[in-house]
Amino acid sequence: MYASTTEQELKIKNLVEYFYSSVFPVYFSEEEISKFEKMNFLNILGKNELTGTLKESYQIISSLETLIFLIESNGLEKSKYQEMYERNVQILEELGFSFPFSYEQFLQKRDFGLETDSVYIKPSNQFIM
pLDDT band per the 50, 70, 90 thresholds, residue 103: very high
At residue 47, the pLDDT reads 61
Task: Indicate whether 28 belongs to any domain.
Answer: yes
Task: Indicate whether 70 belongs to any domain.
Answer: yes
Q: What is the tens place of the pLDDT at every residue in 75-102? A: 898 999 999 999 999 999 998 889 999 9
**pTM summary value:** 0.82
Angle between helices 79-94 and 54-72 (to 10 degrees): 150
Task: Indicate whether 118 belongs to any domain.
Answer: no
Task: Indicate whether 127 belongs to any domain.
Answer: no
Say if residue 122's pLDDT is above 70. Answer: no
Task: Indicate whether 115 belongs to any domain.
Answer: no
Task: Indicate whether 75 belongs to any domain.
Answer: yes
Vertex 51, ends 39 and 37: CA angle to 5°? 15
State which residues form the domain around 46: 6-106
Task: Indicate whether 126 belongs to any domain.
Answer: no
Task: Indicate whether 89 belongs to any domain.
Answer: yes
How many domains, in total, are found in the chain? 1
At residue 54, the pLDDT reads 82
